[in-house]
Structure 1
Amino acid sequence: MDPKDEIKAKLDIVAVIGEYLELKPAGMHGFRALCPFHAEKSASFHVSSDRQIFHCFGCGEGGDIFTFVQKMEGMDFPEVLMHLGQKAGVEIKRFSTTEGNTKQRLMGIHELATSFYKKVLSSSSGSHVAREYLANRGITSELIDRFEIGFAPDDWSMLSDALLKRGFSEAELVQAGLSIKKKSGIGVLDRFRARIMIPLRDQHGNTVGFTGRQLPGADSNMGKYVNSPETLIYHKGRLVYGLDLAKRAIKDHKCLIIMEGNLDVVASNKIGVQHVVASSGTALTQEQLELIKRYTDTVVFCFDRDAAGLTAAKKGVTIARSLSFDVRAISLPTDVKDPDDLVQKNPEVWKKLSNESIPFMQYLFDRTLFSRDISNVDHKRLISQELLPAISEISDVVEREHWLAKLASLLNIDLAILRTAIHPKLEKSVIKTNTNSVHPIKLGKKDQVLLVLIGSILNDELNRDYVRKQLELTVIDHEQIANLYKFLEETYTSDIETAKTKSFFAKARNLLQSDPSKETLLSLLDQSSLIAEQQFENLSPASCLTQLNTLFETLHATDRQSKRSILAQKLRQAEDAGDVEAVNKLLSELN
């Protein structure tokens, strides 16, 4: 069996999509959810367990299990094939492209490096200081295993030598960011030495880089933290630390807590608060938040209490709002510097706070007003300078007015004056979608009836021939629907044996999917199949036939009405032109 077909046979599209979205039953074989590819408030995203396809009636996105994961994860097809193959237990041959092979080689290097660092931490006599440091921070062996924490030995080339023996080249080790060329140009040295090694893993759990944490007492000039350089597989602004382990908890809590440091995430996991990730000490990027958007619409910021932490949080909030996130925050006690510090001092308080987030604007009000005197005019000015820009970013007019009124009341200033001081961005933010997306096709009443009938040809082998005989190409005005019907007729007559079975849908879909120029027809095919599935669900064979006849009556009545409207328009034009012969001819046709 072809690996793609084997994966489809082993993985249910409902289960896979259910890992990303909250699906709700819609009929016997259907599920619906809010579409992840465009902003919406009413669920127009449908998944069929029977057809093993999805389609959004709002934005037009649709396809099979591979299409969905490609769009959600931003993967190319070979990558998604490898990813789903691993999930399904189907062996897939390595990429045939040069870049694909290079990526796999770099992934392999990082996988071996992770194992190497873990082994050094657990067994080397030179790592006892690292083990003591982790133990003193309460990082247990279970946490070390969960996050695959290791130790880079205080040696010039131990890792490089080990990887070279495994068949990797010096150039590959440098390209992976784990080795650096000697000044002489001959040979390589380890980039990380005498550091606690924290693997940086993508959302699938693949190690793509490392953060090396200096041991206490080491030379401060060497930097407390050293990160892998950007490589073909590691992009700092795209990776969200801890997301691979947080996905299940995010789904349970319906939100995600974003912190600054990787060790904040480790500490939080120690006490069971697992819906946490870190920005790895940098300001959040749009790419990171777009990745997070695949898993939740609510983000909770919990950055360090210092000024840099607040600045980083405010930048992240600006981007998060532009992506239509519900933005909240956790306010740490004044006697702790970060979540890690709080977990060490009072873990129960962190457990409690992790479930008690507040709107980010409330958090910003509290931080800004802290130690300020609102009766002092200079303090008033500073407060307004900090809060007004943040309020102006709020696109929802009700929420914006709420915080503006609150600020006016606190400062004892007329609300109208504050309104004139801000220039809110009223444009509604829209999530970026693939520029190659299939846009929904505008359909009239007649076209919608046609799609149901064509869907019944795809889905219902009992009435397939009946519908084909009744449905004439001449009544189809819509060019793309006509093209789809012609394609189905050609597919039917080319293999009548398959056309008589339930496999007809799969064959037609595979043929369209194999031809990139037929993307619009593929979208229409999925749409018609899902509409028909909903229309005829739970109906007996006799009731199905009755419904089909009703649809044909509607189709012919609509067709007659459409033709009369066209004739009436032509008649008016002939009358205006004074063309008596044309008028008489059109009147006879109308009658």
Structure 2
Amino acid sequence: MLSQNFIDEVKAAVDIVKLAQRHTELKKVGDGIWQGQCPHPHHNDGTPSFTVWEKSQSWACMGCHSGKKNSKHKNYGSDCFAFLQWMEGIGWKQAILKLAKEVGIEPEQDQHAEVYDHKRRLAISYHRNMPPQVYQYLQSRGLDRHDLDDWSIGFDGLRITFPLFDRYRKVLGFSKRKFIETDESAPKYKNSSNSNVFNKSCYLYGTHLVTDDCDEIRITEGAMDVIVPKKYGVQNIVATLGTSFTEHHVALIKNMNKIPVFCMDGDPAGLKSIKKSVDMLAEAGVYSKVLLLPDGKDMTDIANEYKELTEDYIQDHAITYAQLMIQEVITQYDSKVNEIKLRLFPTVKQVLQSIKNGDERKVMQDYVYEKMGLKL
């Protein structure tokens, strides 16, 4: 894990202008502003669309929109690390370490190495000591031995254990599901306490498998809701593990530059939670989509039902949050209108029946149908 101090030190030592000039010819066009043709091989740039701002040490291509803030196009960001990722197709950590080597800054020693090693050994021990009845239960939930190995799922004597990996697959802690009943008041799931290496308020389970192949980040609730859909090919699915959505989660998702898709319950509590999360993201300039799950089902159930078509299910059923809110308003409107129709139906029926002229009654029946949707 790279500390923020190390990252900041490397960034401060890199000149974005000189870095960009390795790949394209730049001309100074203003106070600390440089322009040139886009250096990316996938952009056939016939005009100087690429701009570098020396003062902010940032860049953007106005043609292909990479590096541009609030762009709907996939990009890595606008700093020196993002530029190297964009140009060379390498990971974020790779870019930092490569630039650190170029500017002569040695990577710091990981002060938490012993903690990581201890938790890794725990995960191995839990994984090796899984009783047959636990394995049978996990099989009933759609997992096989390969899945258990991939996610290092284990058992600690009372609970099923799910190691919490960081983006480099280091074990930060565990999420544990109660399997043997000892205390009915104990919560079904229990996550590791906050520590020097783990913070529940800024953790998303499954981030070590997030890639740039998908422009969305699907957010669900539990570890199984990540593991089973991922087994059937769902991309970029992560879980909050039952914790409240925080500003740290917002920053994490914003940094990914992906569209959040909340795949959660549509009951009142679920909608309230989704609304809060969506509002927090919107304030940060990130706009979300929502997939409301059918009553009584979670993403594990959906994946076990649709299997390899789960990705299609998400894409077909996810809607923008604005559309969800409009649908809620329309539902309320329809409910009120139907209530009014039901209340007025006897009066309308009585009036129509009182009309003696058959032609006039027919005209009024058509009029009532046109205005109120009542057919009498």
TM-score for the superposition, normalised by structure 2: 0.62
Does residue 319 (structure 1) correspond to residue 280 (structure 2)? The answer is yes
SS in 2 for 1:222: coil
2:336 corresponding residue in structure 1:
374
Counterpart pick for 1:350 among 297, 301, 310: 310
Relative contact order higher in (CA < 8 Å, ≥ 6 apart): 1
C-alpha deviation, 1:94, in angstroms: 8.5
SS in 1 for 2:336: coil
2:289 corresponding residue in structure 1:
328
Deviation sequence 1:31-71 (CA, Å, 0-9, x none)? 97999x9998943749xxxxxxx995xxxx54798999xxx
2:115 corresponding residue in structure 1:
106
Alignment of 1:517-536 (within 5 A): none
Bigger share in strand: 2
C-alpha deviation, 1:140, in angstroms: 1.3
Take 2:80 and 2:132, find their aligned partners in 1: how far apart are those partners? 54
Contact 2:50/2:61, CA 8 A, preserved across alignment: no
1:147 corresponding residue in structure 2:
151
Alignment of 1:413-424 (within 5 A): none
1:38/1:129 CA distance change after superposition, 3 Å: farther
C-alpha deviation, 1:313, in angstroms: 0.9
1:129/1:218 CA distance change after superposition, 3 Å: farther
Contact 2:291/2:319, CA 8 A, preserved across alignment: yes
Counterpart pick for 1:135 among 139, 164, 170: 139
Contact 2:288/2:320, CA 8 A, preserved across alignment: yes
1:55/1:116 CA distance change after superposition, 3 Å: closer
Instruction: Output the amino acid matched with 1:235.
Output: N
Take 2:309 and 2:67, find their aligned partners in 1: how far apart are those partners? 40
Take 1:333 and 1:306, find their aligned partners in 2: how far apart are those partners? 9
Contact 1:149/1:198, CA 8 A, preserved across alignment: yes
C-alpha deviation, 1:265, in angstroms: 0.6
Instruction: Output the amino acid matched with 2:335.
Output: D
Counterpart pick for 2:249 among 288, 308, 333: 288
Instruction: Output the amino acid matched with 2:337.
Output: S
Take 2:119 and 2:168, find their aligned partners in 1: how far apart are those partners? 14
1:117 corresponding residue in structure 2:
126
1:130/1:218 CA distance change after superposition, 3 Å: farther
Alignment of 1:414-453 (within 5 A): none
SS in 2 for 1:317: helix
Take 2:124 and 2:85, find their aligned partners in 1: how far apart are those partners? 33
Deviation sequence 1:514-547 (CA, Å, 0-9, x none)? xxxxxxxxxxxxxxxxxxxxxxxxxxxxxxxxxx
Does residue 341 (structure 1) correspond to residue 301 (structure 2)? The answer is yes
Bigger share in helix: 1
1:275 corresponding residue in structure 2:
236
1:229/1:32 CA distance change after superposition, 3 Å: farther
Take 2:214 and 2:136, find their aligned partners in 1: how far apart are those partners? 34
Instruction: Output the amino acid matched with 1:350.
Output: T
Contact 2:61/2:67, CA 8 A, preserved across alignment: no
Alignment of 1:371-410 (within 5 A): 373-375=335-337
Deviation sequence 1:308-347 (CA, Å, 0-9, x none)? 221111111011112222311123234x432112223443
C-alpha deviation, 1:219, in angstroms: 3.5
Take 2:94 and 2:313, find their aligned partners in 1: how far apart are those partners? 41
C-alpha deviation, 1:233, in angstroms: 0.5
Instruction: Output the amino acid matched with 1:354.
Output: I
Take 1:120 and 1:33, find their aligned partners in 2: how far apart are those partners? 57
Take 1:81 and 1:231, find their aligned partners in 2: how far apart are those partners? 26
1:330/1:146 CA distance change after superposition, 3 Å: same
Contact 1:203/1:240, CA 8 A, preserved across alignment: no
Corresponding residue pairs, total: 284
Runs of 5+ consecutive residues of structure 1 not aligned to the other structure: 1-12, 15-21, 47-53, 122-126, 155-193, 379-591
1:235 corresponding residue in structure 2:
199
Which protein is bigger by CA-based radius of gyration?
A: 1
1:229/1:141 CA distance change after superposition, 3 Å: same
Bigger drift between 367-376 and 284-293 goes to 367-376
Instruction: Output the amino acid matched with 1:374.
Output: K
Does residue 310 (structure 1) correspond to residue 271 (structure 2)? The answer is yes
Deviation sequence 1:73-130 (CA, Å, 0-9, x none)? 9x9xxxx699848xx9xxx99845xxx42x2221111111111111112xxxxx2221
Bigger drift between 228-237 and 319-328 goes to 319-328
2:189 corresponding residue in structure 1:
225
SS in 2 for 1:284: coil
Runs of 5+ consecutive residues of structure 2 not aligned to the other structure: 1-18, 21-39, 69-75, 341-376
1:360/1:144 CA distance change after superposition, 3 Å: same
Cα RMSD of the aligned pairs, angstroms, is 4.5
Instruction: Output the amino acid matched with 2:270.
Output: G
Take 2:240 and 2:182, find their aligned partners in 1: how far apart are those partners? 25
Contact 2:289/2:321, CA 8 A, preserved across alignment: yes
1:370/1:284 CA distance change after superposition, 3 Å: same
Take 1:118 and 1:275, find their aligned partners in 2: how far apart are those partners? 25
2:171 corresponding residue in structure 1:
207
Take 2:313 and 2:85, find their aligned partners in 1: how far apart are those partners? 39
Instruction: Output the amino acid matched with 2:322.
Output: M
Deviation sequence 1:458-492 (CA, Å, 0-9, x none)? xxxxxxxxxxxxxxxxxxxxxxxxxxxxxxxxxxx
TM-score for the superposition, normalised by structure 1: 0.41
1:244 corresponding residue in structure 2:
208
